[in-house]
Amino acid sequence: MANNKMLVNERQRDIGSFLVGRLLPFRKKRQVGPFTFIDHMGPFQIEEGKTVNVDQHPHIGLSTLTYLLSGKIEHRDSTGAFQIIGEGDVGFMTSGKGVTHTERTSAELLKEKKVIMHGYQVWVALPKDKEEMQPRFDFIPKRELPSWEENGMTMTLVAGEGYGRKSPLPIHSPLFMIDIQSSKETTELEVRGQVEGEIAFVVTHGGVLDGEDCIKAGQMLISKTEDECHITLEPNTRLLMFGGQPFAEERYLYWNFVSSSKERLEQAKEDWRNKRFPKVLGDDTYIPLP
């Protein structure tokens, strides 16, 4: 592995009825641009006893971006939003000063046969002047995202700006997230001049070649420089490329909270313990503070 890159292996954790793999943060790199946290869900088949069922929990100081490679998930939050997020759609909940939400496999989805759940939830920290903004939820269906063919690859701009295009998703700081799929041939992905800021690649299928090394599915490659020229994709590879401009201030994490202030994290803890956060309408579930 070249010394201008870092390799991260997925670490699994159990969140109830299924396992997720965590890629960010890790010890040597807490953020990539404004991206603070990446969880990988699945792949697994939805069936009785094996579903997504995450009860009501809080967030501050971030936006959660849900992007599925397959399957569907039911999102509800305390802004009143209710949305079924499907394959290739983008669900983007901005917590700001405080929000609660649930994520579940809907009863309708359970009726469908052989549904494979596979996707990512990404946390994007908010800039300091927007950490206490009003919560909101945005949804962009797959058909509205910029998608194009380039050098034998299919590319979809999930969020932000890159390759001369702009996603319609409302974001709060300069960033990019791009879904890239190679064809049956080995292909070269040119990066220089196409995106701005720190850069990372999460391999979801296949493999990426870096000199004599091969980065496989479940691993993340981070460039230590902002001018990485290109990488080589093996045939039938899929990856997510993301990053952007880092913030000047450090971000602190505790549980589901992100903030530039340790004191604000303590306040969020007290607010959740004392049930002062807004609630999802009609939902009395509650995940205790760890």
Asked if 265 and 259 count as a contact pair (C-beta separation under 8 A), the reply is yes
201 belongs to a structural domain: yes
Does 79 fall in a domain? yes
HSE at residue 271, side-chain half, CA atoms within 13 A, is 20
pLDDT per position as a tens digit, 224-269:
666 556 789 999 999 999 999 989 999 999 999 999 999 999 999 9
Q: What is the pLDDT of residue 226?
A: 62
Supply the range of the domain harboring residue 256.
Answer: 5-273
Radius of gyration for the alpha carbons in the chain, expressed in angstroms and rounded: 19
Which H, E and C letters describe 159-202, residue by residue?
EEEECCEECCCCCCCCEEEEEEEECCCCEEEECCCCCCCEEEEE
pLDDT band at 159 (very low <50, low <70, confident <90, very high): very high
List pLDDT tens digits, range 206-227: 998 877 778 888 887 877 666 5
Structural domain includes residue 281: no
Classify burial at 167, counting beta carbons within 10 Å of its beta carbon; exposed 0-12, middle 13-18, buried 19 or more: buried
Does the residue 9 lie in any domain? Answer: yes
Instruction: Judge whether 286 lies within some domain.
Output: no
**Which of 80, 78, 91 has the alpha carbon at shortest distance from 122?**
91
| Tens of pLDDT, residues 77-136 | 999 999 999 999 999 999 999 999 999 987 777 788 788 989 999 999 999 999 999 999
Residue 137: inside a domain, yes or no? yes
Phi, psi of 109 (to 5 degrees): -65, -35
Find the CATH number of the domain harbouring 193.
2.60.120.10
**Residue 21 is assigned to a structural domain of this protein:** yes
Contact 178, 202 (CB under 8 A): no
List C-alpha distances in Å: 194 to 24, 104, 188, 201, 241.
23, 36, 14, 15, 12
Q: Show the tokens assigned to 165.
A: 């295009």
CA separation for the pair 39, 27 (Å, rounded): 16
Range 33-60 burial, b when 16+ CB lie within 10 A, else e:
bbbbbbbbbbebebeeeebbebbbbbbb
Is residue 282, in this structure, part of any structural domain at all?
A: no
Task: Please state the domain count of the chain.
Answer: 1
Rounded percentage of the chain residues whose pLDDT exceeds 90: 62
